[in-house]
Amino acid sequence: MDIWQLGLASQVEHVRTKAVSAEDVASAYFERIEAVDDRIGSYLRLDREGAMAQARMVDEQVRAGRDPGPLAGACIALKDIFVTKGVETTCGSKILEGFVPPYESTVSERLKAAGAVILGKANMDEFAMGSSTEHSAYRICRNPWDLDRVPGGSSGGSAAAVAAGLCGVAMGTDTGGSIRQPAALCGVTGLRPTYGRVSRYGMIAFASSLDQGGPMGRSAEDCALVLEAIAGRDPADSTSLDEPVGRYQEACRTGFKGMCVGIPKEYFREGLDPQVEAAVRRGIETLAANGATIKEVSLPHTEYAIAAYYIISPAEASSNLARYDGVRYGYRARDASDLMDMYCRSRAEGFGSEVKRRIMLGTYVLSAGYYDAYYGRAQKVRTLIADDFRKAFEDCDVMVTPTSPVTAFKLGSRMSDPLQMYLADMYTISCNLAGLTGMSIPCGMDGQGLPIGMQVLAPALGEERLFRVAAGYQRLTDWHRRWPEVAQAQEAE
Amino acid sequence: MRISIEEVEHVAQLAHLKFGQDEIAAMARELDAILEHVQKLQELDVEGVAPTTHAVPVICPLADDEPAASLPRQAVVANAPDTLDGLVRVPKFIDDSGAGLT
């Protein structure tokens, strides 16, 4: 078995015990990226120099007998939404082309402090707006399981990189499902932590009351290892939670015996692909057969989640994206007649169509005369959705649902209908609105060999519950260990 | 239609965006479809429901008022598309009489 096929936890163990050098692990990944990523498009840019320097530093520490950190030599793909000092950061947008941040995000800072090696910046939908990565301003990203299909989004590059073995773990962000949905479509494990569990400092803002970064890996265990290193209070993010970081790796070993799993009936209705439903139901049976109690629960306001989300998130985005005006950084239109002309043309030329659509929608719902009818009402509906979960979690420890109603769809098939694209998030959005934590784990394949994801939800700061269920399930199944053909190709050569 | 061409043009102005005539019409159609969908929220009775403004109920802590170094000016201005003597330069917005241009 090659080093890249081992899980992250095992790679770190190899580096820490000198069985293999961090430099060799990073080189192995760069070799694979060169051989495979032309066909996938998971990275927007690589930082070979920075990565190799960091890997050498880790190796020196190991040689000197010092502790190289809990993520020693862990090779990471960072969604291009995290700013990296001295390394271009675009958030998938032309408007940030050439932007070289003068500071580092807390997430990447903590990863590096723990000994991790950042291989490069992963492809994404522009400003994280999208469910297919087709809104990347730079390159198409393909699903490693079928190159004619999307990897999901917006953290599609991160998910594809993990699925194809082009990094150990990837970092994504999730505002309405952008970690869990691509994790499901690419057959990997993706965790959206509780809002505020991981610092948002240096994570380019989309919808500030919903955004949260988290790990995407080949197993729950790998995600736990990374979350322990990045979670916790950060003075630079006043919304980061001042709560003790959980023992996520230990939770992975605990298992789910005796836990009560709620099944929200509203998540198994029309719009759900029968093959996805069958796979998720088999997953639930596996949990039941191994010591979990299953209980039907109800979330009556489920059908209002998408509508509330597509008011709240564009409203917040329209405000956050006001900063891109061509003045201090990023793209500026040439030969403007005056300042206002420069603002409008820089934004019109720099933003892509989906971003403009959301800025327009957000500006509209916040504009005079419409605020109460749209934004004010959506925030109240958000309360009703959160109350549904509060009540349902009185009767269960976690909930299990499908992550996405369908498996990976064809490139281009939803681009002409924005609303259709938004419906891809129907099972993931409520988690963000209600302030929960959620994870997607692989639980099957459809008839075309495309991965199916199962979502596990827990109340705020219930990450340990998620790890107990996910890691316990992964000890009983092998869906998360499979590789797409494109990953095996190099091996065969 | 829930949103007229004129309204789309007005919102574009508020958002500091510019669209061609074709784009305006397409934007109106797309926004209309989305607004039609979100209309669903009108079905609910939200009388007396408190709005959620923060995902997790916490009291936002205040930082200690201690001076700290900020980023060096040179590093910050380095990303600006146009600079002069360490300042960011923008197109004219006041005419020679001192009146605002836009």
pLDDT in tens, A272-282: 999 999 999 99
Strands A117-122 and A75-79: parallel
Residue A6's Cα: distance from chain center in Å? 21
Cis peptide before A154 (omega within 30 of 0): yes
**Alpha-carbon torsion angle A304, A309, A314, A316, nearest 10:** 130
Confidence category of residue A75, pLDDT binned at 50, 70, 90: very high
pLDDT recorded at residue A319: 97
Tell me if ipTM is over 0.90.
Answer: yes
Confidence category of residue A492, pLDDT binned at 50, 70, 90: very low
A-chain CB neighbours of B58 within 8 Å are 196, 239, 241
Residue pair A359/A247 in contact by the 8 Å Cβ criterion: no
Residue A81's Cα: distance from chain center in Å? 11
CA distance to partner chain A, nearest, from residue B97 (Å): 15
- Does the B5-43 domain belong in CATH 1.10.3720.10? no
Q: Do A432 and B55 touch (CB under 8 A)?
A: yes
Residue pair A165/A42 in contact by the 8 Å Cβ criterion: no
Which among B13, B12, B8 has a CA at the least distance from the CA of B25? B8
- Bigger pLDDT: A270 vs A42: A42
Residue pair A150/A134 in contact by the 8 Å Cβ criterion: yes
In chain A, what are the domain boundaries?
3-301+383-492, 304-375
Q: Is A441 helix (H, G, I), strand (E, B) or coil?
A: strand
For the cut 80, the answer to whether the pLDDT of residue A18 exceeds it is yes
Write the burial class of residue A198 (CB in 10 Å: 0-12 exposed, 13-18 middle, 19+ buried). buried
On average, the pLDDT of chain A sits at: 96
Residue pair A36/A489 in contact by the 8 Å Cβ criterion: yes
Q: Percent of chain A, pLDDT > 70?
A: 99
CA A170/CA A74 separation, integer angstroms: 10
Site from A309, A339, A431 to mutate, B interface, most B CB atoms within 10 angstroms:
A339
pLDDT in tens, A380-401: 999 999 999 999 999 999 999 9
Searching chain A, which residue's CA lies closest to the CA of residue B13?
A344
Q: Percent of chain A, pLDDT > 90?
A: 95
pLDDT in tens, A147-185: 999 999 999 999 999 999 999 999 999 999 999 999 999
Q: Average pLDDT of A364-372?
A: 93
- Bigger pLDDT: B60 vs A37: A37
CA A386/CA A390 separation, integer angstroms: 6
Which among A256, A184, A245 has a CA at the least distance from the CA of A463? A245
pLDDT recorded at residue B21: 92
Q: Average pLDDT of B6-31?
A: 96
A178 is catalytic: yes
Q: Is B87 helix (H, G, I), strand (E, B) or coil?
A: strand
Tell me how far apart the terminal alpha carbons of chain A are, to the nearest angstrom. 15
Strands A189-192 and A117-122: unpaired
Which among B39, B28, B34 has a CA at the least distance from the CA of B5? B28
Q: Is A392 helix (H, G, I), strand (E, B) or coil?
A: helix
A-chain CB neighbours of B78 within 8 Å are 100, 102
> Which of A178, A219, A240, A430 does the annotation list as catalytic?
A178
Searching chain A, which residue's CA lies closest to the CA of residue B71?
A102
pLDDT recorded at residue A493: 43
Residue pair A28/A36 in contact by the 8 Å Cβ criterion: no
Which among A287, A231, A304 has a CA at the least distance from the CA of A399? A287
- Bigger pLDDT: A349 vs A368: A349
CA A358/CA A300 separation, integer angstroms: 27
Tokens for A36? 């495979």
Q: Average pLDDT of A246-269?
A: 97
Q: Do B51 and A383 touch (CB under 8 A)?
A: yes
Site from B27, B41, B47, B54 to mutate, A interface, most A CB atoms within 10 angstroms:
B41
Q: Do A384 and B56 touch (CB under 8 A)?
A: no
A265 is catalytic: no
pLDDT in tens, A132-141: 999 999 999 9
CA A175/CA A425 separation, integer angstroms: 10
CA A131/CA A314 separation, integer angstroms: 15
Tell me which residue in B54, B60, B93 faces A209 most closely, judged by beta carbons: B54
pLDDT in tens, B49-80: 999 988 887 777 788 899 989 999 999 999 99
Which among A492, A490, A466, A493 has a CA at the least distance from the CA of A144? A490
Tokens for A184? 């499901």
pLDDT in tens, A436-465: 999 999 999 999 999 999 999 999 999 999
A-chain CB neighbours of B1 within 8 Å are none
A238 is catalytic: no
At CA A424, angle to CA A421 and CA A426, rounded to 5? Answer: 125
Residue A41's Cα: distance from chain center in Å? 17
Q: Which CATH number fits domain A3-301+383-492: 3.40.640.10, 3.90.1300.10, 3.40.50.720, 3.30.930.10?
A: 3.90.1300.10
Neighbours of A320 (CB within 10 A): 18
Tell me which residue in A311, A344, A376 faces B18 most closely, judged by beta carbons: A344
CA distances from A43 to A112, A170, A388 (A): 19, 11, 39
